[in-house]
Each structure stands twice: as structure tokens, then as C-alpha cells.
Copies of this chain bind each other. A is one copy, B any other.
């Protein structure tokens, strides 16, 4: 068999581990051939690809990023791809395509599958918000990076009597904020799933200070936002080019708390450090398993499916099911954390 593989969408620790695993399993386990398309679907459309043998994936297991590159593709070109899918598969002589990507990629993969390309998807998102799988690789690394930052911030906040607002990734789902907040022992957590009252945050901090505590750490998902009327949440500031720029929730909440509490409040915006670098052991194992099972699914002819973790097992679920709705933090999980506003 000849299998194509590509990575699309934002960066995510574990992408290389999947690529390596696909190549290892396909070549060693089945005697297949594997080619890698460069820069995601762009490489598929433009015919940029290269053969991947064992040497090509040697030493990449622990490396962040993706050796195949990734690029966003306009929706129009993707539709184009879907239309010519079967033709493309034939053109490259591939018997199956394994796209590794997030929600957009999986939707595109489904379109390709519907259009006749034999596709097996591998889900990827550091946000952990794909509902068909218990976990996605990259998430554990993001939580680990955020937790290490909170660990460091706690000691410095403690010594210097201030409030720290840590903004972590998570535009639509607050998993990273929830788990890094729990792991780091943040005193409050703000999630996109539940608009927060600034007043509640203020009260929590004041209550802590009144108990003699000298600091507070608040972990905020980038997609968290105040309840209506709770805080003046105007959309932007004017930067040096006269462009209106949005100051994220971390910056805004810190300014708001400083104003209301009369105490130093400092924002820390973790940003892209959460999505780069060497993956954790957990993510490497999950990514490796996903790659292995994707190749097995190809050989069983289970197309239009993607890999998913369910409990301790990796199983296959229909792509159609995978992308219907976002997996958001349920109320139950919020209860388990210290204090989700």
C-alpha cells in the first residue's frame, strides 16, 4: 500500500510522534510505502510531497512542531480539493490519506472522504475540545507548561504580595485553564463556559487577604469573558499605527483587579510557549498509539473514520460524529476545582 500523511492547522506537540508512528507501523508492520505532503492540504493540492522512510523520521519522536510543515488553507481551495479528491488520490498513487489536524482539518477530511478519498483522520488539538475522544495529544503538554508557569508565579506572588492573572490558551473550551488551574493550585479559574462576575473574583481575593494570605493567582482561559454588566469590556485600544487592538482578557482583568483592589495585579500571557517544544511522555504515547491505529484502520479499510481515545482503548469513530459539537467543560468538572467563577 501507499499511504499519504499530512499535518494541518496550528502547532501541537506530538505531531511528529504521529508521523513517526505511521511510518514505523506502515513500513515495518505492513511493508507499505509512505509519502508526506508538505504544509498540510497545500502540499496535497500543489503536489509537494516527499517519501518518508525510517531515516526520515529518525530522532523526531521528542521534537516539537512538524517536520512536514503546516499552513492554513482558504476554504475555497479546500472545496477544490474535495472535488478532485479521488483524482488526486489516483494521481499520487495513494491508497489512503491520513490527515492529522484539528476541527477544521477533520471537517475537510470528512469532505474529502465524502468525495471518495480513502481517509483516516487523526485528531489534534491542544485545547482538548473534540468531543469524540477522551483526550487529544498536545493537551497534556500545554497543561504541563501552564502548570510550571503557575508554580513559578506562586512563589513570586507569595513573597511580594500581589495578584497574578495567568492567561492560558482555550478560546472556546476551558480545559487547559481548568486542569492547569487545578494542578497549579490557582485560587480562582475563569472559563469560556461560564461568564464570570468580576465582583466574585474581587471578593475571593479580598477574603484571602483578610485571612492573612498575601497573594492570589487567577488562571484565565483566553476565551473567558465577564458576565454582561460585570466589567467595562470595551473592545480595543489604539496602537501605534492607529489600529484598534484587542487587549486580551488577562490584561484586562489584571487592570480591573488592580483598580478595584488597590493592590498590584500583574498579567502573564503564556501564549505560544504552550503549543511548542518537546511533548510530554503522555502525549508521545497517545500520539504514537493514534498513528499506529490509523495505519491499522487503513489496512482494515475503515475509511471516513478517525482515531479516538475511549477509556484506555484507542478506537475508531466516524469523522461525521467527531466534529458535530465542541467538547466543553461540564459543570461537574468545575465543581471539582477550587473555585470556578
Contacts and interface: CB of A to CB of B under 8 A. Distances in A.
Interface of A: 7, 10-11, 15, 24, 61-66, 69-71, 134-135, 140, 143-149, 151-161, 164, 179-180, 182-185, 214, 232-234, 237-241, 243, 245, 247, 252, 255-256, 259, 266-269, 271-273, 275-277, 280-282, 284-285, 288-289, 292-293, 310-312, 314, 336, 338
Nearest to A215: B65
A282 B7 CA distance: 26
Across the A-B interface, give the 7 residue pairs with the lowest CB-CB distance, nearest first. Answer: A156-B276, A64-B155, A152-B277, A65-B155, A65-B159, A183-B281, A152-B276
Contacts of A159: 7, 11, 15, 64-66, 69-70
Nearest to A279: B183
Contacts of A281: 140, 143-144, 146-147, 179-180, 183-184
Given A134-B311, A237-B237, A140 B255 contact: no
A285 B152 contact: no
A273 B311 contact: no
Contacts of A71: 160-161
B268 A241 contact: no
A239 B240 contact: no
Given A152-B276, A158-B65, A311-B134, A240 B266 contact: no
Given A183-B281, A293-B336, 13 more contacts: A7-B159, A61-B185, A63-B155, A69-B159, A140-B281, A153-B273, A153-B277, A233-B240, A237-B237, A238-B238, A239-B255, A268-B271, A269-B271
A134 B312 CA distance: 6
B69 A285 contact: no
B185 A62 contact: yes
Given A134-B311, A179-B281, A245-B237, A288 B336 contact: yes
Contacts of A62: 151, 184-185
A185 B288 CA distance: 10
Contacts of A146: 281
B239 A239 contact: no
B156 A152 contact: no
A252 B239 CA distance: 8
Q: Considering residues A10, A234, A239, A240, which has the most beta carbons from chain B within 10 angstroms of its beta carbon?
A: A240
A255 B245 CA distance: 10
A240 B255 contact: yes
19 contacts: A11-B156, A15-B159, A65-B156, A71-B161, A154-B276, A156-B272, A156-B276, A179-B285, A182-B285, A183-B281, A183-B282, A183-B288, A237-B237, A237-B239, A240-B247, A268-B271, A269-B269, A269-B271, A280-B282
Q: Considering residues A135, A179, A275, A276, which has the most beta carbons from chain B within 10 angstroms of its beta carbon?
A: A276
A34 to B, nearest CB: 17
Contacts of A275: 156
A45 B271 CA distance: 42
A156 to B, nearest CB: 3
A159 B148 CA distance: 24
Contact of A232 (B24, B151, B240): B240
A140 B284 CA distance: 12
A281 B182 CA distance: 9
